[in-house]
Amino acid sequence: MAEAAFVFCAGGPARASLPALPDDVLVIAADAGVAEAERLDFHVDLLVGDLDSASPEAVARVEASGGSVQRHPVDKDASDLELAMEAAVAAEVRRIVVVGGDRGRLDHLLGNAFLLGSERWAGIEVDAVFGDATLHVIRDDRTFEGAIGELVSLYAVGGVARGITTDGLRWSLHDADLQPGSSLGLSNELVDTHARVRLEDGVVLAILPGVDA
């Protein structure tokens, strides 16, 4: 059983480096995300979605290589990425890295980011690479890497994030509360190659945009 999963979604290309995952990583493509998985030379174990954007040739390649295809109706109550996340959870992985791009519709990009903070994935370590940006979902306590001087922004999702304390950032927080929609966590800066964020309650998205201020 795989310990981790790459979940590829649309909007590519992903330009930031992908984290290293075990060799037995499960690879799931959400509809048109199959193109990004193939571009990065990953074998797709599962292609899921309504498949209105994945090319018939890509679908055929997944099936020919031994991968599975789960086709859903176009009229559905979940996005293709949400279905792919649910498939990864069903496979009992302990870590998920979502990979996609920052092109296309703003509502899709925001929806994807908010989706990753859902309580449904509370027992799983979730990260993402969207274009140049890297995103980390933080619950309780997490340490992440970056270059000294690199920008990082912290956003509360799903409610107030309480009792936040940071290490390795230029402007530290000490037992602070972060409200959804607040700019308090915007455009901080790494002063070390590792930063740590701890919180007593809630969910925080740490976003390293991968570009200069």
pLDDT tens for 110-157 read 999 999 999 999 999 999 999 999 999 999 999 999 999 999 999 999
18 domain residue, yes or no: yes
Round the average pLDDT of the chain to a whole number and report it.
95
Mean pLDDT computed over 55-71: 97
CB 98 within 8 A of CB 82: no
Mean pLDDT computed over 66-87: 94
Q: How many domains does the chain have?
A: 2
| CATH code of the domain in which 204 resides | 2.60.120.320
In this predicted structure, the answer to whether residue 211 has a pLDDT above a threshold of 90 is: no
Mean pLDDT computed over 7-17: 93
In this predicted structure, the answer to whether residue 74 has a pLDDT above a threshold of 60 is: yes
β-pairing, 133-138 with 95-100? Answer: unpaired
Domain that holds residue 142: 138-208
Alpha helix (H) residue ranges in the chain: 33-39, 56-64, 80-90, 106-116
144 has which bridge partners? 195
Question: Residue 29 has what pLDDT?
Answer: 98
Question: Residue 11 has what pLDDT?
Answer: 87
Residue 48: φ, ψ to 5° = -130, 145
88 domain residue, yes or no: yes
Q: Quick check: helix, strand or coil at residue 173?
A: coil
pLDDT grade, residue 12 (50/70/90)?
Answer: confident
201 domain residue, yes or no: yes
- Which residue has tokens 């990953």? 42
Burial bucket for residue 58 (CB in 10 Å: 0-12, 13-18, 19+): buried
